[in-house]
Amino acid sequence: MSLPRIAIVIPCYNEEQALPITAREILALIDRMADDELISRDSYILCCNDGSRDATWKVITDLHAADNRLKGISLAHNRGHQYALLAGLMTAKDACDAAISIDADLQDDPNAIIEMVRKFRDGKEIVFGVRSSRKTDTWFKRTTAHAFYSFQNAMGLETVYDHADYRLMSHRALELLSQYGESNLFLRGIIPQIGLETDIVTYERNERVAGESKYPLSKMLSFSIDGITSFSARPMRWIFMTGLILLVLDIFIAIYVLLAYFHHSAISGWTSIMLSVWFLGSLILMGIGIVGEYVGKIYIEVKNRPRYAIKDYLLD
């Protein structure tokens, strides 16, 4: 059986400081796995420049000139992590037996790739990298992350707990992924739906090797909303159920008001009216906002625009 050719796909946005360190470490890992006859010697790294504002593309170009096992593509403009990752996976799809996605900051332990490849050679089509613990996170980040996964599950979204975008996908899995044509990308929700044989590899998460985090709280919240509204209509169902409960309450309140009126015991006052108006007004605005989120996604999907445009290639 021939050794598998592995593509390690790295989405990059403003990673000029981290990328030289990451490239050196992963190229050494490829050499080590090739020496152990786990993978083919023509395995490679594919860096996907997501419209970086710093010298990331120049760093990729220089690294490619020094070692052509490090290849690169550059998107025409910044599209976001999920689109850069998809662009890399689709570029590598026809030039590998399996692709492994990992971020450029090396917070995901690259040594887990060895176990991923072993599981792939044992017949697994998708192998998820899952954090073994969150002890390196702050209390706030750990709590919000757990709330994020719990809320996703409550909304009916199928995701792998404590898994980000560190995973191995076989050529067959990549082919199936290419058939998912939605513009609103949430790969953590799409890939578990592919349905092939899967497994997990656990690892300890490290500190960034260089640079700053590209996912502050605001982006994490936006990412969570995108994921939920891309895969579940349950929030709109909750709006309906909330409205139904309020309708039942309104019937009881109406009976109480009518009884008070006919018994001449009604007390005029603005407090209860104001509270009711503000409460119901807030619910209405929230409902409109949630519905608007879905309408906006429909608007983006029906235009059927390309999800990304690749400006430059370094694949030779």
The CATH number given to whatever domain includes residue 140 is 3.90.550.10
Residues 169 and 279 both lie in one domain = no
d(CA 1, CA 185): 36
Is pLDDT above 90 for 190? Answer: no
Q: Give the 3-state secondary structure of 192-243.
A: HHCCCCEEEEEECCCCCCCCCCCCCHHHHHHHHHHHHHHHCCHHHHHHHHHH
Residue 107's closest CA among 6, 219, 203, 223?
Answer: 203
CA 223, 307, 161, 92: dihedral to nearest 10 degrees? -140
**Is the Cα torsion angle 91, 94, 95, 98 positive or negative in sign?**
positive
d(CA 259, CA 257): 6
Backbone φ and ψ of 95, nearest 5°: -130, 30
- Whether 204 maps to a domain, the answer reads yes
Domain count, the chain: 2
Residues 66 and 182 both lie in one domain = yes
- State the residue range of the domain holding 108: 6-231+305-314
pLDDT tens-digit series, residues 123-179: 999 999 998 876 666 666 667 667 776 766 766 667 777 788 899 999 999 999 999
pLDDT (average), residues 213-237:
63
pLDDT (average), residues 57-69:
96
Residues 111 and 224 both lie in one domain = yes
Residues 151 and 200 both lie in one domain = yes
Q: How confident is the model at residue 193 (pLDDT cuts 50, 70, 90)?
A: confident
Residues 121 and 224 both lie in one domain = yes
pTM: 0.74
Q: Where is pLDDT greater, at 294 or 112?
A: 112
- Whether 23 maps to a domain, the answer reads yes
What percent of the chain clears pLDDT 70, i.e. is strictly above it? 72
- Whether 1 maps to a domain, the answer reads no
Residues 179 and 242 both lie in one domain = no
- Whether 199 maps to a domain, the answer reads yes
Residues 174 and 270 both lie in one domain = no
